[in-house]
Amino acid sequence: MEHTGQNSPLGNHTTLVEFILIGFSDVPKLQGLLFGVFLIIYVFILTGNSLIITITKVDPSLKTPMYFFLGNLSFLEICYVSVTLPRVLADLCRQNRKISILACAVQMYFFLILSATECFILTAMAYDRYVAICNPLLYPVIMNSRLCIQLAAVCWTTSIIIHIVSTCVIFSSPFCERNKMNHFFCDVPPIVQLVCGDTSGIELMTYIIAALVVTIPFLLILASYVKIISTILKLPSATGRAKAFSTCSSHVMVVTLFFGSGIVVYLRPKSTHSSGMDKYFLFFYTILTPLFNPIIYCLKNKDVMVALGKFLQKWIVLGLITSKNSSHS
């Protein structure tokens, strides 16, 4: 570990230039198995979400605000896992698990941006469903393409601005000599544990940001669905109620998965926390929504199923024609 000695009012500490990610090295006999499992998961996430993005772009029947946001969400999921999983796969293949402070800061920054943006995109999707069900006659006017693009832009830019500040504050703090993190990527809690001196200011900032990017979006989603359910229950026909519920079911499942797993990971009682188990909880939290997002939308959404079927059929036919022409030439 390279460092330079330095004194400060907080006491003696060292200026670290790198951290060591312990990752899954505590289970050496399972390195090969974990690599295979994680690689399959990563390929499935990339493939599934790429298919969702493709069909929302090419299928005319999916040129609606709901599927515009779904395409954004799938792109977000690909970026989200690509911040952590490639590093995990690389670390499973090597002994040297060092990461520079700069690389660690960049990884944490992008992870925070993508997590916050997912909260905001899910909120925008809830607003879309609210307008569609509670104001159906005004839906085409309110949810026009300009508003959709503006909402998506606000989701991304807000996250980028908020987390520039938090990342700078955390990584401008002095770190102690301990540089080992019992984690597989740079996340806020394990990094804050390595900060020397009083971390109450950082923890307060973290809680405030969490309220802005998690609690407020969750409450807005909850309020949207209270109004949506109230409107649906007033519909005269059972068929109409079933159809209205079906347009929301996929989004509700993704929201439940994302926020539910987040609550289990971050809001468990401290008495149940251990650094060894936390990383496994967090690993499944980071892959659950990206993994199940395409599955949920393909199985629960009829329009996506039909569009996917047409897309795959087109490529299969194209492949057969290409192979037939190749065999004749």
pTM over 0.75: yes
At residue 75, the pLDDT reads: 95
**CATH code reported for the domain at 3-259+286-307:** 1.20.1070.10
pLDDT tens per residue across span 21-75: 887 877 778 888 989 999 999 999 999 999 999 999 988 888 899 999 999 999 9
| Domain map (residue ranges) of the chain | 3-259+286-307
Give the mean pLDDT of the chain: 84
Q: What is the 3-state secondary structure (H, E, C) of the chain?
A: CCEEEECCCCCCEEEECEEEECCCCCCHHHHHHHHHHHHHHHHHHHHHHHHHHHHHHHCHHHCCHHHHHHHHHHHHHHHHHHHHHHHHHHHHCCCCCEEEHHHHHHHHHHHHHHHHHHHHHHHHHHHHHHHHHHCCCCHHHHCCHHHHHHHHHHHHHHHHHHHHHHHHHHHCCCECCCCEECCCCCCHHHHHCCECCCCHHHHHHHHHHHHHHHHHHHHHHHHHHHHHHHHHHCCCCHHHHHHHHHHHHHHHHHHHHHHHHHHHHHCCCHHHCCHHHHHHHHHHHHHHHHHHHHHHHHHHCHHHHHHHHHHHHHHHHHHHHHHHHHHHC
pLDDT value at 76 more than 90? yes
At residue 300, the pLDDT reads: 77
pLDDT value at 325 more than 80? no
At residue 277, the pLDDT reads: 67
Residue 124 or residue 12, greater confidence: 124
